[in-house]
A and B are shown apart, each in its own frame.
Chain A
């Protein structure tokens, strides 16, 4: 990797004042250092934020949880309040990466993972995300792992996180702080679609630091399920994943959340389908109809048409398991 300046501020204020276009914050480093070693990213300045007081998980007045950005993925997945109230999030985190990486990776950093597109990762070939304007060989190349929703002519990459799929389903709020002050961003708005500027993955400004993730009170602990489908049994990125959460009262779905991972540049949530599910009975027919609706606008590439079929079946499976109380029925 390239030489860089290293700073370790001890307050959020100092951290954001150090930040600029050529700097990066580092916490777990699991993706940033990986990218730096591949020369995909070459920051001139690393700002080590591990000394900041962002490690608390605390209850909010609104009945939710505030998760400090530096809480590790492992600590979060195994936090008693997460396991009890947000099992969907716990499952999603544990489906990702490896135990070692989950010990290192931070909550905030997980949101900033970059795509696993082969072309993005190989600095010796063109990629619009890495080098705007250089082209997208994936569009007509090896695109089995790429997007079926929301892609653009410039970029067909997918977002690799599992945790973010669950956070999208839980309608988390991202708290950030920049030099101009703090703001909060709805999870659905945090990540971008590639459009004309695939180099930008999210809405953060250069000087903005994620300080916390807030979970609303509704955790769907009774009826939720995270299903991840990948090319090997563990330690692989999702081909398709589904976060499904339901509130079922008597014979009727009162509220539904349905978000797909591995299919778009961001966690792919379809609120229209969620609304459609509301008021229906939780049955295989209902879930199949929901899946069909969600997938009717999919735009597969040459090698990833299977994702449409797979996602359809995965949605039905995940919703069914969620309706059964979240435990897969083996």
Chain B
């Protein structure tokens, strides 16, 4: 064609980069107006019981304290479960903040202090005295695991004859793994700023992964008209799942704003970031049998997760064990144990990040037992089809991930013997694991608008939680419309925009990207129609013949600026809105992203200190829209995986029923010094089925398998197999 650079696939800098590096990007708790009130949450310190009395007299006596809202004086909120359900609800009765006197978990919000400044609100909160009637509580999954019951999910039916094959296998292993509670801890604490409008409607800046989810929730819980609630989330300071459900600070802020008819902001403290959803603790059992040649004969994966007394949180922990490898005899079991805790919540690669720890560590243990290279074992058992669904994959370049990742890492130099590699005092270990995540697509809508200056504005109610949505949607729109990147603006984070699903599950590019692409395609049709009517040169031109590039429509020698077509249209701008949904052709296929992760650890033999020295992560995720941003997503996922392997653990005092290391000094996430070299490579994967973009999304796949690869490397370094995560140094002494 010509030297026009196709926007798709370019490593564009973040379009919101300048605002972020200059401190100009405003997050939910950073909007203000004259007279804004500040709320501070008072939380329970018992895990179960009732509130007998709340004495707020000392707090109310302070000048500047406006109100103290609790279950006795709150405004009216819905009294059935349905209004509290949201797009990411678990089965059961959703939590209702300040609903009644019942205490369901330690850290539950029990009152909101509203004052005319933040410091005063927090101080006044410390003066509120709550009297409780305490009841017995249970928070220990390990202790009570025998009481777990079947999770209310449709698991793949058992296939083949697991028991017989497991019993008869040349090697059969029965292994138990455990993973701790983890909290999302995005750097930005959850916050809602409710700006009370003159007409009584609410403009709410909320930290969320779903503006419309929050809009509908607020509307239903408070019985408001839809047009009276508008949610904004232009910038979100990380979320990783914590913003999938409306969080309690939103309810409290709205409650205060409606009763006081004032604008109110509620920002949670870091400590309070440990008082809602989290990745649940799991106990996993892997029974795995193989023939001497490495063929997997039997896999059983049982997981027990914790949940709250009021909702059954479920996630896909065990399904992966029926699909990542070819195995004809599979039995999957998933149980839940309700405890006096808050309901867990999806957290980066929910389920898979947990289940793949069990599966991929067990595979490594099997490889050792068989004396087969762990990578070879995976190739022997490569799954051509998804046996859970009995479907072929739309594309699956996992073999290429294995091959290219291994080559980049130097895997063939590996000495299989544990403790065989050393650098001075450090034992060196090499481990690997595979990863998988479903490539989903949801319904989504987008609007495209081209003005008289040739500027294209595309919008959808999605968010950008750091994933690069602003940037990649800009690229998709530019590619699909033929408008130059510099003339494209993508708008998001506003519930009044065209419908978008929650931002999660790595399906934003697939869902919203498809809508953006289709909106721009539709826009081109309109532009072409204008051209046909207004210019003889384009009279008979078909859509296939027309070329849209660099802001112009061309056909042979004829060339016209898109801006001119917008002007010629007689309209203020040319505008189209489309509703996109997954293509029917997906239904015959399984769709997934895959990865192969290779890890080198250095372990101080005497002191047990583990350093993840280098990681190679090879990813198959279809077409990469922006390699710079996609790489960043994978880097982040790998860092999360390292944290899962070595650092992260919310510690609960079961006598108190309370999380105790609820701060960033003692809840350890990796710091810069913990992270070694990370090499990300994307293997080529062509996929015409998953969606028209051929792109699968990369938000989750980066973390999946990493913790197992680190654990396997630690075994290789030390000969010690730690199955209780995180692998802190005390477990290696």
Asked whether the complex places CB atoms of A and B closer than 8 A, the reply is: yes
Asked whether B671 lies within 8 Å of A316 as measured between CB atoms, the reply is: no
Given A125-B45, A234-B672, also A229-B424 (CB < 8 A): no
Out of A39, A121, A306, name the residue touching B730 (CB < 8 Å): A306
Chain A residues 128 to 156 lying within 8 A of chain B, measured CB to CB, are 137, 140-142, 144-145
A79 at the interface (CB under 8 A from B): no
Report the stretch among A6-14, A175-183, A260-268, A307-315 that lies at the interface: A307-315
Complex CA distance for A140 and B656, rounded to whole angstroms: 11
Chain A residues 278 to 325 lying within 8 A of chain B, measured CB to CB, are 306, 309-310, 313-314, 316-317
B554 at the interface (CB under 8 A from A): no
A278 to chain B, nearest CB (A): 25
Complex CA distance for A239 and B730, rounded to whole angstroms: 10
Asked whether A116 lies within 8 Å of B656 as measured between CB atoms, the reply is: no
Which residue of chain B has the shortest Cβ distance to A38 in the bound complex?
Answer: B271
Complex CA distance for A225 and B441, rounded to whole angstroms: 57
Asked whether B653 lies within 8 Å of A329 as measured between CB atoms, the reply is: no
Out of B45, B611, B658, B671, name the residue touching A235 (CB < 8 Å): B671
B118 to chain A, nearest CB (A): 11
Contacts of B661 in A (CB 8 A): 118, 142
Out of B43, B424, B658, B730, name the residue touching A125 (CB < 8 Å): B658
Contacts of B666 in A (CB 8 A): 116, 118, 145
Which residue of chain A has the shortest Cβ distance to B605 in the bound complex?
Answer: A313
Out of A2, A144, A229, name the residue touching B123 (CB < 8 Å): A2
Given A124-B45, A234-B672, also A310-B608 (CB < 8 A): yes
Asked whether B653 lies within 8 Å of A233 as measured between CB atoms, the reply is: no
Asked whether B733 lies within 8 Å of A310 as measured between CB atoms, the reply is: yes
Contacts of B665 in A (CB 8 A): 116, 236-237
Chain B residues 418 to 441 lying within 8 A of chain A, measured CB to CB, are 423-426
Asked whether B607 lies within 8 Å of A142 as measured between CB atoms, the reply is: no
Chain B residues 643 to 672 lying within 8 A of chain A, measured CB to CB, are 646-647, 651, 653, 655-656, 658, 660-663, 665-666, 668, 670-672
A180 to chain B, nearest CB (A): 35
Contacts of A144 in B (CB 8 A): 730
Asked whether B733 lies within 8 Å of A233 as measured between CB atoms, the reply is: no
Asked whether A232 lies within 8 Å of B45 as measured between CB atoms, the reply is: no
Given A1-B119, A125-B45, also A234-B671 (CB < 8 A): yes
Asked whether B647 lies within 8 Å of A232 as measured between CB atoms, the reply is: yes
Chain B, interface SS category: loop
Asked whether B424 lies within 8 Å of A330 as measured between CB atoms, the reply is: yes
B119 to chain A, nearest CB (A): 7
Asked whether A310 lies within 8 Å of B729 as measured between CB atoms, the reply is: yes
Which residue of chain B has the shortest Cβ distance to A328 in the bound complex?
Answer: B425
Contacts of A145 in B (CB 8 A): 666
Chain A residues 225 to 256 lying within 8 A of chain B, measured CB to CB, are 229, 231-237, 239
B381 at the interface (CB under 8 A from A): no
Asked whether A231 lies within 8 Å of B729 as measured between CB atoms, the reply is: yes
B609 at the interface (CB under 8 A from A): yes
Chain B residues 501 to 548 lying within 8 A of chain A, measured CB to CB, are none
Tier of interface size on chain B: 35 or more
Complex CA distance for A125 and B658, rounded to whole angstroms: 9
A3 at the interface (CB under 8 A from B): yes
Given A3-B123, A231-B647, also A316-B606 (CB < 8 A): yes
Asked whether B663 lies within 8 Å of A232 as measured between CB atoms, the reply is: no
B182 to chain A, nearest CB (A): 15
Complex CA distance for A297 and B126, rounded to whole angstroms: 42
Complex CA distance for A182 and B261, rounded to whole angstroms: 59
B568 at the interface (CB under 8 A from A): no
A122 at the interface (CB under 8 A from B): yes
Question: Which of A119, A142, A314: most chain B CB closer than 10 A?
Answer: A142
Asked whether A313 lies within 8 Å of B656 as measured between CB atoms, the reply is: no
Which residue of chain B has the shortest Cβ distance to A118 in the bound complex?
Answer: B660
Which residue of chain B has the shortest Cβ distance to A308 in the bound complex?
Answer: B733
Contacts of B651 in A (CB 8 A): 118, 142
Tier of interface size on chain A: 35 or more
Complex CA distance for A309 and B240, rounded to whole angstroms: 38
Asked whether B671 lies within 8 Å of A232 as measured between CB atoms, the reply is: yes
Which residue of chain B has the shortest Cβ distance to A140 in the bound complex?
Answer: B655
Asked whether B660 lies within 8 Å of A233 as measured between CB atoms, the reply is: no
Asked whether B611 lies within 8 Å of A329 as measured between CB atoms, the reply is: no
Chain A residues 96 to 116 lying within 8 A of chain B, measured CB to CB, are 116
Complex CA distance for A306 and B119, rounded to whole angstroms: 42
Complex CA distance for A234 and B675, rounded to whole angstroms: 11
Contacts of B672 in A (CB 8 A): 234
Asked whether A313 lies within 8 Å of B606 as measured between CB atoms, the reply is: yes
Complex CA distance for A183 and B717, rounded to whole angstroms: 54
B21 at the interface (CB under 8 A from A): no
Which residue of chain B has the shortest Cβ distance to A97 in the bound complex?
Answer: B665
1/0 per position for B33-62, CB-CB distance to A under 8 A?
A: 000000000010100000000000000000
Contacts of A309 in B (CB 8 A): 733
B558 at the interface (CB under 8 A from A): no
Complex CA distance for A2 and B58, rounded to whole angstroms: 13
B121 to chain A, nearest CB (A): 12
Which residue of chain B has the shortest Cβ distance to A316 in the bound complex?
Answer: B606
Given A125-B45, A310-B607, also A137-B671 (CB < 8 A): no
Asked whether A125 lies within 8 Å of B656 as measured between CB atoms, the reply is: yes
Chain B residues 431 to 474 lying within 8 A of chain A, measured CB to CB, are none
B728 at the interface (CB under 8 A from A): yes
B128 to chain A, nearest CB (A): 12
B673 at the interface (CB under 8 A from A): yes
Asked whether B671 lies within 8 Å of A233 as measured between CB atoms, the reply is: yes
Contacts of B673 in A (CB 8 A): 232-235
B297 to chain A, nearest CB (A): 39
B674 at the interface (CB under 8 A from A): yes
Complex CA distance for A143 and B651, rounded to whole angstroms: 11
Asked whether B656 lies within 8 Å of A137 as measured between CB atoms, the reply is: yes
Asked whether A122 lies within 8 Å of B660 as measured between CB atoms, the reply is: yes
Complex CA distance for A127 and B623, rounded to whole angstroms: 56
Asked whether A121 lies within 8 Å of B607 as measured between CB atoms, the reply is: no
Which residue of chain A has the shortest Cβ distance to B730 in the bound complex?
Answer: A306
Contacts of A236 in B (CB 8 A): 665, 668
Given A137-B653, A329-B424, also A229-B609 (CB < 8 A): yes
Asked whether A232 lies within 8 Å of B730 as measured between CB atoms, the reply is: no
Asked whether B660 lies within 8 Å of A1 as measured between CB atoms, the reply is: no
Question: Which of B119, B122, B661: most chain A CB closer than 10 A?
Answer: B661
Contacts of A306 in B (CB 8 A): 730, 733
Given contacts A125-B656, A141-B655, A232-B668, 9 further A-B contacts (CB under 8 A): A118-B661, A118-B666, A142-B660, A142-B661, A231-B728, A232-B647, A309-B733, A330-B423, A330-B424
What residues make up the interface of A, taking CB atoms closer than 8 Å to B?
A: 1-3, 37, 39, 116, 118-119, 121-122, 124-125, 137, 140-142, 144-145, 229, 231-237, 239, 306, 309-310, 313-314, 316-317, 329-330
What are 22 A-B pairs with beta-carbon distances under 8 A? A118-B651, A118-B661, A118-B666, A119-B660, A122-B658, A122-B660, A137-B653, A142-B653, A231-B729, A232-B674, A233-B611, A233-B673, A233-B674, A234-B673, A235-B671, A236-B665, A237-B665, A306-B730, A309-B733, A310-B608, A310-B733, A313-B606
Q: Closest 4 interchain pairs by CB? A: A124-B45, A306-B730, A233-B673, A118-B660
What residues make up the interface of B, taking CB atoms closer than 8 Å to A?
A: 43, 45, 119, 122-123, 126, 423-426, 606-609, 611, 646-647, 651, 653, 655-656, 658, 660-663, 665-666, 668, 670-674, 728-730, 733
